[in-house]
Protein backbone atom coordinates (compact mmCIF):
# COMPACT_ATOMS: atom_id res chain seq x y z
CA UNK A 1 0.00 0.00 0.00
CA UNK A 2 1.41 3.40 -0.88
CA UNK A 3 1.98 6.18 1.63
CA UNK A 4 -1.00 8.29 0.54
CA UNK A 5 -3.44 5.39 1.01
CA UNK A 6 -1.92 4.57 4.39
CA UNK A 7 -2.27 8.19 5.53
CA UNK A 8 -5.84 8.29 4.23
CA UNK A 9 -6.84 5.11 6.07
CA UNK A 10 -5.20 6.19 9.33
CA UNK A 11 -6.95 9.57 9.14
CA UNK A 12 -10.26 7.92 8.20
CA UNK A 13 -10.10 5.55 11.19
CA UNK A 14 -9.04 8.41 13.49
CA UNK A 15 -12.05 10.44 12.38
CA UNK A 16 -14.46 7.52 12.78
CA UNK A 17 -13.09 6.70 16.24
CA UNK A 18 -13.31 10.36 17.25
CA UNK A 19 -17.04 10.28 16.52
CA UNK A 20 -17.43 7.00 18.42
CA UNK A 21 -15.68 8.43 21.49
CA UNK A 22 -17.51 11.76 21.25
CA UNK A 23 -20.87 10.08 20.69
CA UNK A 24 -20.55 7.54 23.49
CA UNK A 25 -19.13 10.18 25.83
CA UNK A 26 -21.98 12.59 25.19
CA UNK A 27 -24.55 9.79 25.41
CA UNK A 28 -23.17 8.60 28.75
CA UNK A 29 -22.94 12.16 30.08
CA UNK A 30 -26.48 13.21 29.19
CA UNK A 31 -28.52 10.01 29.25
CA UNK A 32 -26.91 7.45 31.56
CA UNK A 33 -27.12 8.41 35.22
CA UNK A 34 -24.08 7.88 37.40
CA UNK A 35 -24.12 5.23 40.08
CA UNK A 36 -26.43 2.21 39.96
CA UNK A 37 -30.00 3.58 39.84
CA UNK A 38 -32.76 1.04 39.50
CA UNK A 39 -30.49 -1.98 39.33
CA UNK A 40 -27.08 -3.07 38.19
CA UNK A 41 -27.83 -4.01 34.57
CA UNK A 42 -30.08 -1.24 33.31
CA UNK A 43 -30.11 -1.19 29.49
CA UNK A 44 -29.79 2.01 27.44
CA UNK A 45 -30.43 1.70 23.69
CA UNK A 46 -29.83 -2.04 23.89
CA UNK A 47 -26.52 -1.84 25.80
CA UNK A 48 -25.66 -1.82 29.49
CA UNK A 49 -23.73 1.03 31.05
CA UNK A 50 -20.68 -1.24 31.30
CA UNK A 51 -20.86 -1.96 27.56
CA UNK A 52 -21.13 1.75 26.72
CA UNK A 53 -18.09 2.41 28.91
CA UNK A 54 -16.18 -0.50 27.31
CA UNK A 55 -16.85 0.81 23.78
CA UNK A 56 -15.87 4.33 24.83
CA UNK A 57 -12.64 3.17 26.50
CA UNK A 58 -11.51 0.84 23.71
CA UNK A 59 -12.17 3.47 21.04
CA UNK A 60 -10.16 5.97 23.10
CA UNK A 61 -7.22 3.54 23.32
CA UNK A 62 -7.36 2.94 19.56
CA UNK A 63 -7.32 6.71 18.99
CA UNK A 64 -4.15 7.02 21.07
CA UNK A 65 -2.47 4.23 19.09
CA UNK A 66 -3.51 5.74 15.76
CA UNK A 67 -2.28 9.19 16.82
CA UNK A 68 1.16 7.69 17.42
CA UNK A 69 1.00 6.00 13.98
CA UNK A 70 -0.13 9.31 12.45
CA UNK A 71 2.79 11.19 14.03
CA UNK A 72 5.27 8.54 12.87
CA UNK A 73 3.91 8.72 9.32
CA UNK A 74 4.26 12.52 9.35
CA UNK A 75 7.54 12.68 11.25
CA UNK A 76 9.57 14.07 8.35
CA UNK A 77 7.01 16.79 7.67
CA UNK A 78 6.91 17.74 11.36
CA UNK A 79 10.71 18.01 11.53
CA UNK A 80 10.97 20.02 8.28
CA UNK A 81 8.18 22.39 9.26
CA UNK A 82 9.60 22.92 12.75
CA UNK A 83 13.07 23.65 11.37
CA UNK A 84 11.60 25.99 8.78
CA UNK A 85 9.61 27.81 11.43
CA UNK A 86 12.65 28.45 13.60
CA UNK A 87 14.87 29.35 10.65
CA UNK A 88 12.43 32.08 9.60
CA UNK A 89 12.62 33.54 13.09
CA UNK A 90 16.44 33.62 12.93
CA UNK A 91 16.45 35.31 9.51
CA UNK A 92 14.03 37.97 10.72
CA UNK A 93 16.22 38.62 13.77
CA UNK A 94 19.34 38.99 11.57
CA UNK A 95 17.56 41.41 9.23
CA UNK A 96 16.36 43.52 12.16
CA UNK A 97 19.87 43.67 13.68
CA UNK A 98 21.52 44.69 10.42
CA UNK A 99 18.82 47.27 9.72
CA UNK A 100 19.28 49.09 13.04
pLDDT at 87 > cutoff 90: no
pLDDT grade for 96, boundaries at 50, 70 and 90? low
pLDDT at 53: 93
pLDDT at 51: 92
Handedness of CA 27, 70, 75, 94 (dihedral sign): negative
pLDDT (tens digit, 9 = 90+) per residue, 8-26? 999 999 999 999 999 999 9
Are 1 and 68 contacting, i.e. CB atoms less than 8 angstroms apart?
A: no
Average pLDDT, rounded, for the chain = 86
Amino acid sequence: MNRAKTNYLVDLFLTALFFVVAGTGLFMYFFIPSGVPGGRYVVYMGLTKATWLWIHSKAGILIMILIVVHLVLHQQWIVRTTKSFFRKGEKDAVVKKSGD
